[in-house]
């Protein structure tokens, strides 16, 4: 459901003992598929690195934990608006130079990258940013992406997760192939101590990698590993390996189910790490509820129905272009019979079950954030609802998905963040210089022993 947050449920600072984490999920002109059509959109600037630097600076002004850049490996329908333009790791290199404290996270595909390449890129950015990098490991989704990387179709689910497990293991070992004190920089002697730099000699099912890496150990030891596990296999991998987790949660009950399941899996894996869970969150902020709803309606009315139907077809794995917009959504296969990405599909099923929408109404809900939780209302109401999730095992924080950019993040930083700070559930200033520090994560010790 869309939560219309009016501020009726106050959460005062004395009630809160936990502090939430918030990332800004940067996506073109915003997460609403029609955002680029708005007269105030930044569509002319999506190839201008200064636009993304300014977004990161706004997020840093709000003391957010990090900015997150997703990535895709196919162009899709180019008439629908901007999705992918600048390559994320390249853009983050520039954004790191325009900021000082905020974390920087990029998607990395374990299906299409090799471990050595990924380890080198992400370690380089951790050095450039002085310890602010994170990497969101995904197995990728679509056949169109696979065909751009030498596959006839996307490999099956089990193969992709087996490769992802090995991929993560090799990247971590490459980062650990240098001891923290390997560099000597002795002009009369050695640049590095060869006894503190060692090959990994990995030969597995998917990769052969000798190592060592060509770059010393990253400042954070390991840049922070994010994952988004929705399927049972994905949840298991995330619980065993991820240091922070992105989630899809339609409402608080679904968020609580996922949160409690993942936390139990983390404990079962013998881990005592915090592993913050951060569901996606779409917000429309207004000085009144009516103003916020008007902002939502304004974007919805800009959405061409044909574009929205193509997006829905991707989510549900079947062509729905000819379906009647003003009739009920046709019956869809149950989750256990769906072969595509299960997290988003499960959300679509939940919206249909809970709201019984017409197809047109469903498209409106999916247009911004694709079924992630949507909060529409005043700064006070949105802040209170976010705090309710934090204090009731729904989230450790949020992956903020503004429906429009830059306006959506400006509204959130200028109006919602001060209320969260007054409620005592969000930091007033940074107390760390690294992404690990922002998230309360320990730096992993080195693997090389003398």
135 or 75: which leads in pLDDT: 135
CB contact burial 188-215 (16+ within 10 A = b; e otherwise)? eeeebbeebbbebebeeebeebebbbeb
Whether 126 is covered by a domain: the verdict is yes
The answer to whether position 340 is within a domain reads: no
Please name which of 395, 388, 400 lies closest in space to residue 257, comparing C-alpha atoms: 395
Collapsing DSSP to helix, strand or coil, 315 comes out as helix
Total domain count for the chain? 1
Is residue 392 one of the residues assigned to a domain? yes
* Residue 98, domain member (yes or no): yes
Give me the pLDDT at residue 297, please: 85
pLDDT above 80 for 11: no
pLDDT of 440 strictly over 90: yes
Task: Mark out the alpha helices in 129-250 (DSSP H runs).
Answer: 143-146, 157-175, 232-241
- CB contact set of 195 (below 8 Å; sequence gap of 6+): 450
pLDDT tens-digit readout, 395-410: 999 999 999 999 999 9
pLDDT of 307 reads 76
Domain that includes residue 409, residue range: 2-176+204-303+367-439
The three-class DSSP label of residue 319 is coil
- Average model confidence (pLDDT) for the chain? 91
- Which pLDDT belongs to residue 368? 83
In a domain, 280, yes or no: yes
Q: Could you give phi then psi for residue 299, rounded to 5 degrees?
A: -70, -40
Using the 8-state DSSP alphabet, how is residue 368 labeled? B
Inform me whether the pLDDT recorded for 385 exceeds 90. Answer: yes
Average pLDDT score over residue span 255-270? 94
Q: How confident is the model at residue 12 (pLDDT cuts 50, 70, 90)?
A: very low
Residue 196 domain-assigned?
no
Query: What pLDDT does residue 2 have?
Result: 52
CATH label of the domain that carries residue 95: 3.20.20.30
Residue 257 within a domain: yes
- 19-75 tens-digit pLDDT: 999 999 999 999 998 999 999 999 999 999 999 999 999 999 999 999 999 888 888
């Amino acid at each position: 459901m869309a939560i219309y947050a009016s501020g009726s449920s106050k959460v005062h600072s004395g009630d809160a003992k936990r502090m939430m984490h918030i990332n800004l999920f940067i996506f073109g002109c915003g997460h609403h598929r029609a955002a680029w059509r708005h007269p105030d959109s930044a569509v002319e600037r999506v190839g201008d690195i200064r636009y993304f630097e300014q977004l990161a600076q706004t997020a840093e002004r709000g003391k957010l934990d990090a900015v997150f850049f997703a990535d895709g490996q196919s162009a899709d329908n180019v008439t629908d608006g901007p999705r992918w333009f600048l390559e994320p790791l390249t853009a983050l290199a520039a954004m790191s130079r325009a900021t000082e404290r905020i974390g920087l996270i990029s998607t990395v595909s374990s299906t299409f990258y090799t471990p050595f390449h990924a380890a080198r890129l992400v370690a380089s950015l951790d050095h450039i940013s002085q310890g602010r990098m994170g990497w969101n490991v995904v197995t990728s989704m679509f056949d169109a992406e696979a065909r751009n990387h030498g596959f006839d179709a996307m490999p099956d689910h089990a193969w992709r997760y087996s490769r992802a497990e090995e991929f993560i293991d090799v990247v971590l070992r490459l980062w650990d192939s240098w001891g923290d004190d390997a560099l000597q920089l002795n002009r009369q002697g050695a640049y590095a101590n060869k006894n503190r730099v060692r090959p990994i000699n990995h030969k597995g099912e998917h990769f052969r990698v000798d190592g060592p890496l060509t770059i010393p150990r990253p400042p954070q030891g390991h840049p922070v590993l994010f994952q988004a596990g929705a399927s049972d296999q994905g949840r298991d991998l995330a619980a065993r390996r991820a240091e922070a987790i992105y989630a899809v949660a339609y409402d608080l009950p679904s968020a609580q189910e996922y949160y409690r399941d993942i936390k139990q899996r983390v404990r079962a894996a013998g881990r005592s790490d915090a592993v913050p869970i951060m569901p996606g969150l779409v917000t429309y902020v207004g000085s009144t509820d009516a103003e916020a709803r008007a902002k939502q309606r304004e974007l919805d009315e800009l959405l061409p129905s044909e574009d929205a139907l193509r997006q829905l077809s991707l989510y549900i794995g079947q062509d729905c272009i000819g379906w009647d917009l003003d009739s009920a959504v046709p019956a869809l296969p149950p989750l256990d019979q769906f072969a595509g990405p299960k997290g988003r599909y499960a959300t679509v099923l939940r919206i249909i079950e809970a709201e019984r929408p017409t197809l047109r109404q469903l498209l409106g809900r999916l247009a911004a954030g694709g079924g992630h939780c949507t909060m529409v209302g005043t700064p006070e109401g949105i802040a209170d609802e976010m705090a309710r999730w934090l204090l009731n095992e729904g989230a450790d924080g949020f992956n903020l998905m503004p429906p429009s950019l830059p306006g959506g993040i400006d509204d959130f930083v200028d109006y919602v963040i001060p209320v969260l700070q007054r409620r005592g559930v969000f930091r007033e200033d940074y107390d760390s210089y690294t992404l690990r520090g922002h998230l309360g994560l320990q730096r992993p010790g080195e693997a090389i022993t003398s």
